[in-house]
Structure 1
Amino acid sequence: MEPLLYNATLVTAGTLLGVAAGLLGRSGDKSVEFGLGFTGGVMLMASFTSLILPGVEGWGFWQVGAGIAAGVALVHLLNAAVPHEHLIKGYEGPAAMIGKLRKSWLIAMAITIHNIPEGLAVGVATAYSAELGFATALAIAIQDVPEGVAVVMPLLRIGLRTPIVVGVLSAVVEGASVIASGIGASALLALLGVAMGLAGGAMIYVTVAELFPEIYAEGKDKKQPTFGFVAGTLTMLFLDTFYS
């Protein structure tokens, strides 16, 4: 339980640090775009090095493959069932809920959907190995800082008064996801391969279907997020190698 609590605290602190930096700092658009690219690199690389590949080695393709499909389906269903809003893509969710909730809470729900897979990844990786769990938590915590900045700054720009509430909520949800998924995966070690695939599939879906469209939207500079993506990929690869 101790590694789970430590790793949950680490990723929560990373998000809160990013929120504080966004509230106090003056980050420009280029640094935010670089940071979001970095986030994508960490998430995509972690999906494979911390979850999918170790899962296949330990439990085989079929368990992990089923988990990946389940993870993709989980996030897809959350996107369809939970009302939320992206800053560029706009509203997603049940049509009947359009106009029923404040914009700040719709954005908060979108961030929550994104942060759950990150918490799942850390919790499941920790259940597999304390060392791998720490490497994953450290990488996720590092990328949570620019991600937290990227969450807060647009909310401030569009005049919402609750960016700190949204940021804290996202941090708490991510930390809670670490503990819940870690406990669940530890209790079902025979199906840990499924859990690793599920967490990896969920992160792949969020990265490819949600994060990349936001940072590579038409008219945006492609260089900064691409440089950030490479930096995030190398960071995750280094940490995974160093702690393995």
Structure 2
Amino acid sequence: MTPAIKGIVYSLIAGMATSIGAIPFLFWKKGVDRRSLDMLLGLAAGIMLAATAFSLVVPSIQIGGPFRFVVGFILGAIFVDLMDKFSPHEHFIKGYEGPMTKSKLSKIWLFVIAITLHNFPEGMAVGVGGFTKDAFAIAMAIGIQNIPEGAAVAGSLIGAGYSVRRSFWVTFLTGAVEIIGGALGAFLITISQPLLPYAMAFAGGAMLYVIGDEIIPETHSGGYQRISTYSLLIGFIIMTLLDNLLG
């Protein structure tokens, strides 16, 4: 496979891993309690954190140097910040965010937008990663963290009263967004190879912003911050070990 095709295929696989987390709810048909939700999100955050550090930040500096890393990293964080500010979206724990005038979109679609904003840079990371020696490691990292994230999404939707079938398909769609991000990342690097360190840092900055601004605050707002923190540590350890074994 060419690097571009590899990035797109890997982003497809990583995105579809979100649905794996939703599969148990097709049979269990119950939502998740707050403690379990915080554990799942903490685990996903730890995996994302290790992937950001070792598969995006370090290679970006190695390929392009500190300046390109800093520029791309800051732009990635600003991008997600602006999307959060100007796009109407809903978090089940944090509630509504976006423009001051609350959107008339249904709550379920506001939730889909929120997950989309977070998954897009993940897909971009996989697409860009197709041009590096860490392609498989990046795809695996995003795919693994998508499993508990998918479980959290499906469990939250079911717990909020949505049908099992609808919850599964919404979870599937949130993962499918990563394919678009992957295709865009691969396309950009195909056009201009020098963009690679910027793009890797951009994806890393976007992902780290999501972890710090969304995931950690939400998992620390329901009284289960200790167990969510240990879940984050476990996720970080798992991904660090896998990255070293693959590297």
Report if aligned partners of 1:72, 1:198 keep a CA contact under 8 Å in 2: yes
CA distance in 1, matches of 2:79, 2:121: 10
Cα deviation digits, residues 110-152 of structure 1 (max 9, x gap): 01111112112212222223xx111111121111111101001
What is the CA distance between 1:38 and its match in structure 2? 1.1
Could you tell me which residue of structure 1 aligns to residue 59 of structure 2?
A: 54
Shift of 1:24: 2.8
- The 2-side partners of 1:32 and 1:95 are apart by 28
1:205 alignment partner in structure 2? 209
* 1:16 pairs with one of 19, 24, 27: 19
Q: Which residue of 2 aligns with 1:36?
A: 41
8 Å CA contact retained: 2:126, 2:139: yes
CA drift at 1:73: 0.7
Work out whether residues 35 and 143 of structure 1, in 8 Å CA contact, stay in contact via their aligned partners in 2: no
Q: Are the counterparts in 2 of residues 69 and 198 from structure 1 also a CA contact under 8 Å?
A: yes
Please list the CA deviations of residues 208-230 of structure 1 after superposition, one character each: whole Å capped at 9, or x if unmatched. Answer: 0011111111x421232122111
Cross-structure match for 1:119: 123
Secondary structure at the aligned position of 2:130 is classed as helix
Percentage of pairs with the same residue: 35
Determine helix, strand or coil for the equivalent of 1:91: strand
Which of these residues, 81, 85, 94, is aligned with residue 89 of structure 1?
94
Three-state SS of the structure 2 residue aligned to 1:85 is strand
Shift of 1:32: 3.1
Give the counterpart of 1:226 among 210, 226, 229.
229
Q: Which runs of 5+ in 2 are unaligned?
A: none
Following superposition of structure 1 onto structure 2, how do residues 1-244 of structure 1 map, counting pairs within 5 Å?
1-25=4-28, 29-96=34-101, 98-129=102-133, 132-161=134-163, 162-217=166-221, 219-244=222-247
Which segment drifts farther, 7-16 or 190-199? 7-16
Q: Say which SS state the counterpart of residue 128 (structure 1) adopts.
A: coil
Query: Partner amino acid for 2:62?
Result: E
Q: C-alpha separation between the residues in 2 aligned to 1:236 and 1:183?
A: 27
Contact map agreement 2:43 2:233 (CA 8 A) in 1: yes
Please give the alpha-carbon distance, in whole angstroms, between the structure 2 residues aligned to 1:142 and 1:73: 26
**CA 1:128/1:141 → structure 2, altered by over 3 Å: closer, same or farther?**
same
SS in 2 for 1:160: coil
Does the Cα contact within 8 Å between 2:119 and 2:177 map onto a contact in 1? yes
Structure 1 runs of 4+ off > 6 angstroms?
A: none
Q: Deviations over 1:96-122 (max 9, x none)?
A: 3x1411000001100111111211221
Cα distance in structure 2, aligned partners of 1:206 and 1:22? 26
CA drift at 1:30? 3.8
**Do the aligned partners of 1:38 and 1:229 also contact (CA within 8 Å) in 2?**
yes
The alpha-carbon deviation at position 49 of structure 1 amounts to 0.6
User: C-alpha root-mean-square deviation of aligned residues, in Å?
Assistant: 1.7
Shift, 1:200, TM fit? 0.5
Kindly indicate whether the alpha-carbon contact (under 8 Å) linking 1:22 and 1:148 is maintained by their aligned counterparts in 2. Answer: no
Give the Cα–Cα distance (whole angstroms) in 2 for the partners of residues 55 and 185 of structure 1: 13
TM-score by length of 2: 0.90
Equivalences, count: 240
